[in-house]
Structure 1
């Protein structure tokens, strides 16, 4: 069965394709670059996490998915389910581009659960190539905001069109997407990423009392343009403050900031939800959420314990570098789940407590400043530094994390497949918490005040550390995630 990029795909099409492609699945499964404890596509392409929620004790993780090939030509919603972030049910896709409103892709969206129902909001993508005024930006593209519900996370109601281009302000381009909903005492508010006619990124805000009828309420902007498009907005309360995460496209490099082709940022807001335009008073309050090569489109949700959990896409669109796994028929993964806190006006990210269940061995070094050891690629490294002024840490052959003159640098060399160096300035180096998987690194610095997330390729393991001051190092070997097939 052959799929074309801009044709509808129905569930029965997917099921026929799946039955016919066991050999493809086995080939992908045998690739040594497959990750051990990160969620990946079984085949094909994965990108943005979507619809994240906990419902009746179960965590549901949906994601944009192209099961047929590894370059993301056509988007469905894939689905994982877990209770503990270690044991996962690999579930059937749940949303297909099978209607006139989403015929060219089930794009990103979110979940909002109340009572016995999960509400899902997402963008249906339609491109009208046959229109003479088609220009991709202002005309010829439909960005439909759609709504479905479920009482179990598996079976969905018929699709309901909430808004289309005519419902967005007249100065907004055809680029409007990625709805996220927050409830307040005075109603529900939806934020949507957008690009205006002057190619300035912003967030549109809509208001509703019933989750079905939405009225334009206003927008969140910066005084001066900060990129031409803001994707994946996520508005939420954390530790009593209102936070906005979004992904601005087209932000220029500044010092050690914004080195990627597109960015992921976070800011604490004083937004009061009054109608009209709300302007961020100082763009210097906008911070990078992750400084690695592969981090984009994160989404957060609050679980039943009251924790604010973030999962991101371990990838990025339009990058100059690539993943060699494309030749093996698959690409990309999701980050580890991270719990968020606020420290002043900075978002702090720390690996979730549940990940400790993956540990299966421990080696401790009371004074590891001249440490050299062989270790499995799949490991967790914790290092506590005292009075440190320089540090050189080799994480696998040719991959270095160094700190000198207050600059922390991650250098991937030939293991980067085109990725080279990313840096951040930090006053002191106190702690490193590193998760190394077969082909990824997630590096949490000073209790998660800064983070580097990247894919990395190179199977020669080995750990060496050179630094001054005192350092205590603990290394854990990590088990992989456990999967089973499930349909409901």
Structure 2
């Protein structure tokens, strides 16, 4: 979809937006699509104090369609500005969609890298070994809003010969006076892996090395980020094709990270064990960036592809999916901890200590002295339980196919919950474990009820204000 085609359909978008008005399940402190469908966050960066949030966007269809890059900005994480789509599908090398990518800022200029999708239809293809182009494309911009041209950097022929047609989602980092591009990939043996390319100028790239686990861990690794926190290197990625093991790897596709020892000069590496980043039903394609205060910030897609549960209530209103609350990442050894940004405290109303909580959009905080077991019900339909070793989220009454997700937890020290109209984000033990999910309760009043064998040091809650979205 090029810009002209988009502009010619704006009346159609207005009709969808009218349908969205008054939807009880719209989200008040999360970013949702202006209309239609949203998925992966893309191009996350901060420039001159402004945070840019691009995202996969299909304006006219709530279930799928031709992908563009939508665009929000914010300076304070509370007030946002919505813009028309930033990247349209308007060249041969991205004719079937502007897929995911990232931003890198150098010398006061944005470098946007993304995957241009092309699917051939002249004959029957499997679109794995043949029939699909995954073109790595560069856009340079002085302001993050406009650009003059697109430059294709890598095509299928430029990837290693044993790669399938699934190579995508470029991310850039700088190390030892070199630039490195990270791409998620699937090889012809159906093994997930990461390709790394090297450059001196951000435009001319040479293949450098491939990363994969000694034993196969899924057939495709999507949305890679190689980052460093407190001296520890991590590879965040989304492996597809990993089978469930007990309560682990319960989603159809995984979202997590490997602690990583990586020597780029010697081309040597060693993976630690894969750790799930989030144990909820609706988390995928996270992307991170360093802000101007040197915080490592993560935003994820509050959704997942090909799930057997749905978001039918919002689909019926013309929209689907959202972005997670942005989170600051910290590391404790080889473990990543996540907590909502400090800025979200500005959403809080007056602190409340009473159990009488009829508010709908709330933050709830529990701090325990001891906790042998704990049961919490919200909205008469969301159940959280801890039995001394396993924490479980049960959404069977309001999940539209979502049932339970669990995690092993040695101790329950604290719980922080963000409850929006149709989402819940749970942070356990100061971000040691996180659950992100959509949920569709009939009654949206929080109405917390809890029981168990525990001693509370503190319980408090806050009603939360809405984001302000400027257009």
Tell me the TM-score normalized by structure 1.
0.94
Residues 1:107 and 2:109 aligned together:
no
In the alignment, what sits opposite 2:202? 211
Does structure 1 conserve the Cα–Cα contact (< 8 Å) formed by 2:371 and 2:388? Answer: no
Conserved 8 A contact 2:388-2:411: no
Q: Secondary structure at the match of 2:25?
A: coil
Partner residue in 2 for 1:36:
28
| Residue of structure 2 equivalent to 1:478 | 464
Report if the CA contact (8 A) 2:13-2:35 is conserved.
no
Q: Which secondary structure does the structure 2 equivalent of 1:467 belong to?
A: strand
Match of 2:17 among 15, 19, 25: 25
| Aligned residue among 431, 439, 449 for 1:456 | 439
* CA deviation string 1:358-377 (max 9, x = no partner): 11232125xxxxxx433222
Match of 2:283 among 269, 276, 295: 295
Change over 3 Å in CA distance of 1:342–1:21 after alignment to 2: closer
Please report how far the alpha carbon of residue 396 of structure 1 lies from its aligned counterpart in structure 2 after TM superposition: 1.5
Which residue of 210, 213, 223 maps to 1:222?
213
Structure 2 match to 1:435: 418
Residue 18 of structure 1: how far off its partner (Å): 1.2
What is the CA deviation profile of residues 287-315 of structure 1, one whole-angstrom value per residue up to 9, with x for unaligned ones? 00000000000000000000000000000
Report what 1:409 is aligned to.
392
Please, which moves more after superposition, 236-245 or 303-312?
236-245
Q: 1:46 aligns to what?
A: 38
Pairs within 5 Å for 1:4-403: 9-132=1-124, 134-274=125-265, 276=267, 278=268, 280-282=270-272, 285-324=273-312, 325-364=314-353, 372-403=355-386
* Aligned alpha-carbon RMSD (Å): 1.2
Segments of 5+ residues of structure 2 without an aligned counterpart are none
Gaps spanning 5+ residues in structure 1: where? 1-8, 366-371
Shift of 1:73: 1.3
Distance 1:229 1:244 in 2: 14
Q: CA deviation at 1:165?
A: 0.2
Contact 1:223-1:279 within 8 A present in 2 as well: no
SS for the counterpart of 1:328 is coil
- Rounded Cα–Cα distance in structure 2 between residues aligned with 1:198 and 1:421: 33
Q: Structure 2: how far apart are the matches of 1:22 and 1:226? A: 44
Q: Show CA shifts across 1:89-110 (max 9, x none).
A: 0111010111100000100000
Is residue 2:450 matched to residue 1:465? yes
Structure 1 stretches of 4+ with a deviation exceeding 6 A read: none
Q: CA deviation at 1:131?
A: 3.6
Question: For 2:8, what is the secondary structure of its paired residue?
Answer: helix
Alpha-carbon offset, residue 481 of structure 1: 0.3
SS class of match (1:387): strand
Distance change (3 Å), C-alpha of 1:390 and 1:200: same
- Please tell me whether the aligned partners of residues 377 and 459 of structure 1 are also in contact (alpha carbons under 8 angstroms): no
Tell me, yes or no, if the aligned pair for 1:223 and 1:280 is still in contact at 8 Å.
no
Number of residue pairs matched? 467
Q: Distance in 2 between the 1:16 and 1:322 partners?
A: 30
SS of residue matched to 1:256: coil
Contact 2:258 2:271 in 1 (8 A): no
Distance in 1 between the 2:199 and 2:378 partners? 50
2:403 aligned partner? 420
Q: Is the 8 A contact 2:255 2:284 kept in 1?
A: yes
* Residues 246-294 of structure 1, C-alpha deviations (whole Å, 9 max, x = no match): 0000001112210000000112211111365x55355xx2100000000
Q: Distance in 2 between matches of 1:349 and 1:201?
A: 26
